[in-house]
Each structure stands twice: as structure tokens, then as C-alpha cells.
A = this chain, B = another copy of it.
Amino acid sequence: MTPVKPVHAPQTGFAVVGNELQVGGVALSLLAERVGSTPFFAYDRALLSQRVAQVRAALPPAVRLHYSIKANPMAALVQHMASMVDGLDVASAQELRIALDTGCDPAAIAFAGPGKTDAELRQALAAGICINLESMREIDTVARLAGELHVAPSVILRINPDFELKSSGMRMGGGAKPFGIDAEQAPGAMARLAAHGIALLGFHIFSGSQSLKADAIIEAHARSVALAQQLAEYALAPLSMLNLGAGFGIPYFPGEQPLALDAIGANLAQCVARLHGQLAGARVSIEAGRYLVGEAGVYVARVTDRKISRGQVFLVTDGGMHHHLAASGNLGQVIRKNYPVAIGNRMASTALETCSVVGPLCTPLDILADRMELPNAVPGDLVVVFQSGAYGLSASPVGFLGHPAAREVLVGTQLQRTQDEVLK
């Protein structure tokens, strides 16, 4: 038996009409004309809505869903997400401004990050949002600044658990970490808050992200709830919030399969039902960034040259690692693997060849596809990188070599839909 070569999970979100990939109902070639220049990122409004609806359907109604702006801070996209989710998570003062601009209730905005400066904490306090406290210094600083501003701070403790989310792309908990307060130091931190006269609202326990294993996520959620329940015994008053992070991943590379959400939802329902003591009335929230927006976006670059070097076909494009560091393999990957890639104006083509797609930068790091099977393409064609709705432009070295910036568009009209309609 020949071993089966792993392939990318099928890209079924974006429709294809004839040769043209459709984004938000617009044929890609026409969309490129509408944008006015390449490269660009295009996000599909309906796919965003659909994903939120899918997650809601899988989660128990009692669980709140938050959008983590860091996955994609484009203002129009955040506005759309804000209209559908229960809260927004921010990681900087700039993300806080974007969140407030949407009109989101400040009480539904939470600020996490291991190095919050005094200035940022001051802004967060003035905005009245929830602050995820991650160190003893932050506790003392918030107490001092709240006094100066004459405001009552809304705070939860971010806990570094004594376990990690297994088989996750990014391990955020377990062992020595800069994130949050070690679980074993939490009772001391709670006493310190009490000494400052600050009421604790709850806990944020986040053990990792980008996991495709439902079992691992279920285990992490169960252990997080158990840990929260243990720590809640040190609380002086009932707690109202428990943020379990999420850890939901999306399939990027050959052989990866989409996450099975239903079992995760069922487990969360059990977790919620088990809450007791000071956590009995707490609302559980899940924060997701990549999972909500990652699959709703594509990166589009135009082929500028087609070269054959020593038998290998290279499509040179006007886009590359400066706009999409993750797809080039330079954002946390150890061994580079290809994102799913297509020729967006030759979707029906059956004349295929093995080729590499590179960008315009003078570095061998600038690669979007390494020896993939793609339709024969020529200058003017549009290369599409799927799974590009999260950690794309905002996570890329846009000034590298001084090439033109990429634009971002959110495509599709704003329709009033019920959840049922969206799910259809």
C-alpha cells in the first residue's frame, strides 16, 4: 500500500462560480477591481455570522461568547463581531479604543496581557472595563490608580494553572509562565485584593490555544473549572465571572481536521451545572478569536511573474511574508508547512502543475506555497491564501523592505438575520 499523502481540509466556506472564488457573494476578480489594488485581505461577513451561530448552537445557552480582538482588529470586522457576541477581549490600549468605539458595554470588555503598563491600567479603569490582573504589581497598581481616579475597579484574576492544554499550538498555562498568577499564589493574591478593599469578580483560566483535539479541550475545561472551584473557597463573597479561554483551533495544514465542537459544548453544560459555593451564580464565558474569524478570511495577491528555475515553477506575487507572516511559516512554526492556497480566478481549471508561490522580498523566507499542486497560472492571476482571517495583516512585518501596504475589506451586506436563518 502506498501511504496516503495528507491533504488540506476542504475549503467549503467560500462558494465558487465558474472559475471564480466568491467572497461575500462577489467574484474575486471583480472584488480585486473594487478594492483597487492588490494584495488585500478579504473577510466574508456571512461566514463570520455563520461561525458565531454555529458556536452558539454548540455551546450551552448559559455560556457567554467573547471575541478576542487580537485575532483581527480591523474596525469594521470588530463592529460586526460586537453585534453578535456577548463581549470583547482586548490586549492593549489600542484594542480597548477599538472595542469602546463599537458601543460595546464596558462591563463586557476584558483586558488581559502580561505587561500592562500603568498608563494602560489607568485607561482601563477610566473606561470601566474588566481588568484581568496578572501579577501582584498589577494588583497594587490598580488599587493605587483606582484611588486616584475615584473609581471602583472591576477585576478578575488570571490564573496560570498547574496544567497545560495538551496538543495545543500555543501553550499558555502549566509550568513557569509569564501569563497570570500561579494557581498556588492565587489565595495570596485574593487576600491582597481584599486588603486593598477591592471586590474580586472571578477568574480567567487559559491553558492554551489553537487546539484541534476536542478531548484535550474538554479535559482543560474540566480541570479549569475544578481549579476555579478550589480557588473560589478563598473568596470572601460570591463570584460572578469565570472565563475559561477557549483553545479552539482551526485546521491550517495538510492532515488537520476541523474541531468537533458539540462534545465541547456538552462538557461545558456539565461544567456549568456543577458550579457551586461562591461560583454558584457565576457566568461562564468562552473567548475565541481565531476560531471565530480565521476561516472567514482570505489573503489575495496578484501574480507578477512566472519563472522556471532549474525545472521548478515559481509564481512571483506582489504579496508575501510582509503581509502574511504566518503563511510564510515564520510565526511560531518550527517546520514550515503550506497553508491552503488556490488560484482564485482559475478554480475550475483542471490543468495543474506543481509550483511554488513567492513574494517580492529579497529573502528566501518570503514564500506563500512550497511546491503545491495548483492550476497553471500566469501574471495577472490571483493567488488566494485561505484560513487568513486571523493573525494575518496585524501580525505581519508590514514595513519589511518598504513594499506597498495591503488593504483589508469586509465583504457582504449587513442583513438582519435570526440565528436560525444564519444557520440554514
Contacts and interface: CB of A to CB of B under 8 A. Distances in A.
A95 B307 CA distance: 25
Interface in A351-409: 356, 358-365, 379, 393-404
A170 B115 contact: no
Interface string A198-232: 00000000000000000000000000000000000
B314 A178 contact: yes
Given A113-B360, A171-B364, A307-B135, A92 B403 contact: yes
Interface residues of A, number: 68
Copies in the complex: 2
* Interface of A, helix, strand, loop or mixed by DSSP: loop
Contact of A91 (B135, B318, B401): B401
A176 B360 CA distance: 16
A137 interface: yes
A403 B94 contact: yes
Contact of A397 (B91, B306, B398, B402): B398
Contacts of A80: none
A347 interface: no
A331 interface: yes
A179 B362 contact: yes
A114 interface: yes
A114 B401 contact: no
A205 B384 CA distance: 32
A122 interface: no
A362 B114 contact: yes
Interface in A117-148: 117, 135, 137-138
A345 interface: no
A330 interface: yes
Contacts of A91: 361-362, 401-402
A316 B114 contact: yes
A154 interface: no
Contact of A137 (B360, B379, B399): B379
Contact of A361 (B113, B335, B359, B364): B113
Contacts of A310: 175-176, 182
A115 B304 contact: yes
Interface string A271-295: 0000000000000000000000000
A331 B365 contact: yes
Nearest to A312: B176
A359 B115 contact: yes
Contacts of A318: 115, 117
Contacts of A182: 309-310
5 contacts: A93-B402, A114-B316, A115-B320, A182-B310, A394-B401
Interface of A: 70, 73, 91-95, 98, 112-117, 135, 137-138, 160, 170-172, 175-179, 182, 304-307, 309-312, 314, 316-318, 320, 325, 330-332, 334-335, 356, 358-365, 379, 393-404
Q: Which 10 A-B pairs have the closest CB atoms?
A: A94-B402, A115-B360, A176-B312, A115-B316, A92-B402, A176-B310, A176-B309, A178-B314, A178-B358, A91-B401
